Amino acid sequence: MADLRYQRNFGIAAHIDAGKTTTTERILYYTGVNHKIGEVHDGGATMDWMAQEQERGITITSAATTCFWNFPTDQGKKMPETKQYKFNIIDTPGHVDFTVEVERSLRVLDGLLALFCAVSGVEPQSETVWRQANRYRVPRIGFVNKMDRSGADFLNVVKQVREMLGAKAVPLQLPIGAEDSFKGVVDLITMKGIVWNEADKGMTFEEVPIPEDMKEEVNQYRQELVEAVAEYDDKLLEKFFDDPNSITEAEMHEAIRKATIDISIIPMMCGSSFKNKGVQTALDAVVRYLPGPLDIEAVKGTNPDNGEELTRKADAKEPFAALAFKIMTDPFVGRLAFFRAYSGRLEAGSYVLNTRTGRNERISRIMQMHANKQNPVDFIEAGDIGAAVGFKDIKTGDTLCNEDHPIVLEAMTFPEPVIAIAIEPKTQADVDKMGMAIAKLVEEDPTLRVKTDEETGQTILSGMGELHLEIIVDRMRREFKVEINQGAPQVAYKEAFNQTIEHRETLKKQTGGRGKFADIIFEIGPADPEFLKEQDGKTTFQFVNSLFGGSIPKEFVPAIQKGFESAMTTGVLAGYPMESMKVNVKDGSFHQVDSDAMSFELCAKQGYREAGRKAKPVLLEPIMKVEVLTPDQYMGDVTGDLNRRRGMLEGMDSKHGVQVIKAKVPLSEMFGYVTQLRSLSSGRATSTMEFSHYNPAPNNIAEEVIAKAKGKMKVDE
């Protein structure tokens, strides 16, 4: 049995270009997995193994790897008390279009190394990642990377983490020098300076005295650190007041660990991964402060048979429970299901129960992953992350457990897609290939949705952004050899009701023999805000049954509910899905012979269309949160352009001589924005965009969209 005390499962997450993959590559080098450091800009990074990743120099899919780290060591050499720690690391993408990859990784990890760029600080995607980590209560360590770049400012980033992310960030180090002169750090726990040796790529370091000009600052931040941590340990607080120097290193580490696991502080460190500085110290901090599988609370789930709450401790003797968090198709071994084992032990070749399908699945082989290479293992135990091969039907978010002890673990929530493109196969031979390719891609990526447009017969792919869909189409061409034509990107609109109205719908059909009869009186309108808050994205359909006195038999109520729920997918204005809806069934009547479940379902659908037109339906459009970084001289042109795109400016800041413009802009106006921005600013401005919320579209826009949907395009006069 593996000792879980010596294991850490953590991820590396951050904004685009903060240096996640570069940091992971350094970790693989220092832990001895790779003997050569792979670089992203050369396309040689181990973790970016997809062709699309190597070409673009970005991470698209989260890659998992396992490595070992010796701790504590003296200058990289083992000591008698050295233990070998096992690391399961997931390198996640930074681009907002692939946010689902971060979401599902955080769901199964115990800790997170959050990277920040020392120049840019907290960026939009850093906020998104932070929110996701808060949702799953993941303890984090902050690492401020790129200290060697001009404009690097460690303390400013710490301040931003406090202000923008609302976290209690506490520096554990202060940098010695910055930008070109960045050499090392002062450790506020040991009160010693550390300078890494460049000759052996930072494997060893030298201890140097604290520079004179820094002593005051060091003492101030040391005091802050002790105060922040002392809240966790009364003894420390007493010691601090008596004699601050009497606090030992071990006591400090212990208190920081407790406070980090409780997410009451975020320890902040700094370095430069590219220059091989600070990564080893960050790995030591992972061992010291981030929780192992035993430190986190027992995982909660429910019994599928009676809905009781169950817990599973991270122990190999407990019944087996695991969560599948990612499906991947490998050309050599077929489908792989990545899963995190929370309790128990699973041997290769044994059976597990999938609680979603209620069927048993045979896991023929178990793999430990290293990027896209698999190393087979005989078994897997609690606290570990592996990949299963040889299953029939496992999807992202499924619980796999022991057949005699069923449990359902909390699944993940995925965001709704905001953008769609139409695709069609070029030749007849591509038709079947396209169907297979889409089936595999949808299985891998839960944020990718597919539907067929009934009128045109085209296949509509919906995803999280232009880049996301571009990669999907590129993969279809390369991996699955499908030739396709694609249309212009479309916006994923929604519809909503503005008013609640009462309506009576009667269905009578007499065709000889048995007829169809159903009669329902109901109220229809938008769902209650309290209900939506409670559900937290699980459902947006609120059904209230107010029937009394048997006016409609009980057995027909589910059919009415089903009718309304399925009708919700096509709105009454232009056929876009309904954002939310509340139906309250009050009364009705039935016929002894002619009424059946089908009649009531049809009646509900008919009633929805009739009543929906009266409930003041409106068209909603997705609004994006846009952040533009531009030099001063282009400021006027950029803001003018955003105003033309119906943008609402929310604020302007200046960071390091660059203007930061924040605005909310409708997605329909943002196509081709990047190209336009480049030409306005001679290629010097950059922008990031992520989904914010839905808002009612202005009348003229709504009319156009509705007319287009109905195929009545206005002829230009």
pLDDT at 306 over 90: no
pTM of the model: 0.77
Check residue 186 and give its pLDDT: 93
What integer is the mean pLDDT of 86-115? 88
* Residue pair 107/100 in contact by the 8 Å Cβ criterion: no
Q: Give the model's pLDDT for residue 35.
A: 72
Residues facing 485 on adjacent strands: 424
CB 347 within 8 A of CB 363: no
39-74: pLDDT as tens digits:
776 666 777 777 788 888 788 888 788 888 898 888
Q: Report helix, strand or coil for 243.
A: coil
How far apart are the C-alpha atoms of 191 and 211, rounded to whole Å? 11
Tens digit of each residue's pLDDT (9 = 90 or more) over 118-154: 988 888 778 888 988 988 899 999 999 999 998 899 9
Say if CB 560 and CB 520 are below 8 A apart. yes
Burial class (CB in 10 A: 0-12, 13-18, 19+), 137: exposed
Is the pLDDT reported for residue 714 higher than 50?
no
- Span 486-538, pLDDT tens digits: 988 888 899 999 999 999 999 998 877 788 999 999 999 999 999 988 887 77
> What are 342-364's pLDDT values in tens digits?
999 999 999 999 998 999 999 99
Token pair 């336009």: residue: 676
Q: Mean pLDDT across the chain, nearest whole number? A: 88
DSSP 38: -
Cα 165 from Cα 278, distance rounded (Å): 24
Give the residue from 386, 329, 395, 274 showing the smallest Cα distance to 50.
329
End-to-end alpha carbon distance in the chain: 78
**What percent of the chain is modeled with pLDDT above 70?**
97
Residues 6+ apart with CB under 8 A from 412: 103, 104, 107, 325, 396, 397, 446
Phi, psi dihedrals of residue 578, rounded to the nearest 5°: -75, 135
Alpha helices in 243-278 (DSSP H): 249-261
* Helices (H) then strands (E): counts for the chain: 17, 38
Q: pLDDT value at position 716? A: 37
Type of residue at 328: M
The per-residue pLDDT for range 564-580, each reduced to its tens digit, is 999 998 899 988 999 99
615: DSSP letter: S
**pLDDT tens, 405-438?**
999 998 787 878 888 899 999 998 898 899 999 9
pLDDT in tens, 354-410: 998 999 999 999 988 776 778 899 999 999 999 998 888 888 889 999 999 999 998
Q: Is residue 1 over pLDDT 60?
A: no
